[in-house]
Chains A and B, each alone.
Chain A
């Protein structure tokens, strides 16, 4: 567009002449203000009535109100927690916070895995390989048509029917599959690992610098130096060298069967495993369709033009098509992320203690249903709005900039 024309909307002369508001019903501004006041007033009245009526009835029935219970010692046991928790000393507030963290643990891991799996399946469904295309199409259709709750129960029953700890499958050293979950060895922390981490960060910064330099070289000479061997050396080999220099400490903490269960090592509980697996497989089917529609939305001419330039198929997909299809993909993808997060509340059915599960127990032990439900609403609203805000920001960043 040439810069000499002006957007007609910007011309001041076209605006209606401003004048003072008259106290006449025929003045549209007065009408609109009056109506807004009336409607806000009505909504406010209804809200006030609901609140006062509820609190009156609660008082009449001597049901406790307020959020004081959050400061009381909980006493409710919690199976799985990211932060230390002891029912004897910690409060309902901390129990609720554990629930929030457990929900986030499912949501974050679920979103990452579902995006990855969904993208792979969506691309595979467009493959020229007949078997691959049909298999992924069948996957999408079957998984989408079965209610999520049934799928979760299915995975949970499957994980429950693994052998008991004493007869656990032991596919690799220190890895145990039993009905108590998947046990994996963890490394015992050593100060040397901090140095490795520092080396990795340094290597990472170095790789970015090298990548920029490569970019400049490409612009100057047309030849792009390879980035990945340098990156590999800086981010993998360098930390490994540091580790070797510090005496290569390696002490794995292998789970051992003691008493009723394995002690030591890391655990993926059957409840968390079933919930994450179910959510990922279910949401991935939807994401696959979104990715497929996004790719198909890019005109075939883009493929042909890129092909004419001599780019390879993989490069075209990664560099030309996917960036353009992202604009179509991101808005519906946001909905799927929100769905996955909210669907994680089905955890109640299979005994994973997410925020809904813990809030339910809390409101049942304290009798404060309204406060409990309000807290659940606030938590989901906060998580959902955060996801939306982030995705909207990302969407704005990659949106087609029209000039």
Chain B
């Protein structure tokens, strides 16, 4: 047997041509999105979530994943497959989430992941939506009597490694000429234990997650104080792989559909009454005209399924975040004083 580089090269070239040909064939039959085709073939959307944060994604007593991230995933499943239940949640940690997305283990991430330039530039991912405008906050014990982050020079702070929080705190303390000692533990339960046991003076992460953590403490919630400073912008949203624009479009417009539905007051309960509406945008949204679904490579009823099965953005918020006592604030619709704004559907 002999292996000559030239013949090997020719073999690979041949294989490459074969692959290219078969890819073109797939393009002709499929939707033009490798991810959407894979999801359709599997009959299931695989969505990476945290699986450990109340209000975002946390299994309930029946083992059903609950939270704003979980429902945002379900909305994509409803849009892609017509059934919000055809979904599998994969819990990921802060340090393995991007690898899970890059390697194709999950189709997308809704994992309280902050949209940053570094992540879009280096990680091979794109942010398709912002389902929560958040910021880094600090939780301290009431007994410490700390009223402001500025009083925390020399403090020990519990943070999860590999997060944008980690970088935000380092920046903030540097700018304010303060020192701190980080305690970095990957496992969420362990880092929270470290804070509760007093190993750290403060626990820092997204303010929403801190509120959720405080809420989980039950009777002891009032022992903990959320400091007034929110030291960074943390827009949390969906992340998809680069190189599949059609899939990106679908994830993005699924989220916009929930916003548009809220603007028009279309909810999961009353969506059927809008089927006779004569407002053009509502008709396009519900798949009555315009072939919007076809443009995205899915059924024209995609947004109807999302609204009917999961609900509009306001319903998703009220179901998951309101019970924790977090006001909607900047997460409200643009015409109600918030930042949530969807481009027109036409």
* A residues at B contact (CB < 8 Å): 38, 41-42, 45, 58, 60-64, 75-79, 87-88, 153, 157, 160-161, 164, 179-180, 258-261, 263, 270-271, 348-351, 353, 357, 360-361, 363-369
Contact = CB atoms under 8 A, between A and B. Distances in A.
A79 B102 CA distance: 30
Contacts of B174: 87-88
A38 B162 contact: no
Given A78-B182, A164-B198, A179-B198, 8 more contacts: A62-B124, A64-B121, A76-B166, A160-B194, A364-B162, A368-B122, A369-B98, A369-B102
Pick the 9 closest A-B CB pairs, nearest first: A364-B162, A367-B123, A63-B124, A351-B185, A61-B124, A77-B182, A160-B197, A367-B122, A64-B122
Contact of A76 (B122, B167, B183, B241): B167
Contacts of B95: 360-361, 363-364
23 contacts: A61-B124, A63-B122, A64-B122, A76-B161, A77-B169, A79-B181, A87-B174, A160-B198, A160-B199, A179-B197, A179-B198, A259-B153, A259-B154, A260-B154, A261-B155, A349-B186, A349-B190, A351-B190, A353-B184, A364-B161, A364-B162, A367-B102, A367-B118
Contacts of B243: 60-62
B185 A350 contact: yes
A285 B56 CA distance: 45
Contacts of B156: 180, 260-261
Interface string B117-129: 0110111100000
Contacts of A58: 124
B170 interface: yes
B107 interface: no
A367 B199 contact: no
Given A75-B167, A75-B170, A87-B170, A61 B241 contact: yes
Contact of A361 (B118, B162, B187, B191): B162
A295 B253 CA distance: 73
B28 interface: no
A79 B153 contact: no
B119 A367 contact: yes
Given A62-B242, A160-B198, A369-B99, A75 B154 contact: no
Given A61-B243, A64-B121, A361-B166, A41 B154 contact: no
A369 B156 CA distance: 29
A207 B162 CA distance: 53
A360 B194 contact: no
Contacts of B99: 369
Contacts of B201: 260
Contacts of A263: 154
A396 to B, nearest CB: 41
B154 A261 contact: yes
Nearest to A180: B156
Interface in B145-196: 152-156, 159, 161-162, 166-167, 169-171, 174, 180-187, 190-191, 193-194
A377 to B, nearest CB: 16
A350 B169 CA distance: 21
Interface residues of B, number: 47
B182 A357 contact: no
Contacts of B1: 38
Contacts of A260: 152-156, 201
A98 to B, nearest CB: 13
A258 B184 contact: no
A263 B181 CA distance: 13
A357 B197 contact: no
A263 B154 CA distance: 9
A179 B199 contact: yes
A41 B185 contact: no
Contact of B102 (A61, A77, A261): A61
Contacts of A78: 182
B199 A360 contact: no
Contacts of B52: none
Contacts of A271: 183
Contact of A45 (B3, B153, B167): B3
Given A45-B3, A63-B124, A367-B98, A76 B170 contact: yes
B161 A360 contact: yes
A348 B93 CA distance: 13
Nearest to B163: A364
Nearest to A52: B12
B25 interface: no
A231 B199 CA distance: 45
Contacts of A363: 95
B8 interface: yes
A155 to B, nearest CB: 13
Contacts of B3: 41-42, 45
Contacts of B154: 258-261, 263
B94 interface: yes
A88 B170 contact: yes
A105 B19 CA distance: 51
A367 B124 contact: yes
Contact of B170 (A77, A160, A179, A261): A77
A393 to B, nearest CB: 38
A151 to B, nearest CB: 15
Given A75-B171, A367-B119, A157 B161 contact: no
A335 to B, nearest CB: 28
A401 to B, nearest CB: 48
A329 B97 CA distance: 44
Contacts of A75: 167, 170-171
A270 B162 contact: no
Nearest to B121: A64
A38 B122 CA distance: 39
Nearest to A365: B162
Nearest to A270: B199
B275 to A, nearest CB: 41
B154 to A, nearest CB: 5
Contact of A160 (B98, B152, B193): B193
Contacts of A64: 121-122
Contacts of B242: 61-62
A270 B200 CA distance: 11
Contacts of B187: 349
B167 A63 contact: no
A351 B118 CA distance: 25
A350 B197 CA distance: 14
A77 B166 contact: yes
B118 A365 contact: yes
Contacts of A365: 118, 162, 166-167
Contacts of A180: 156, 199
A357 B161 contact: yes
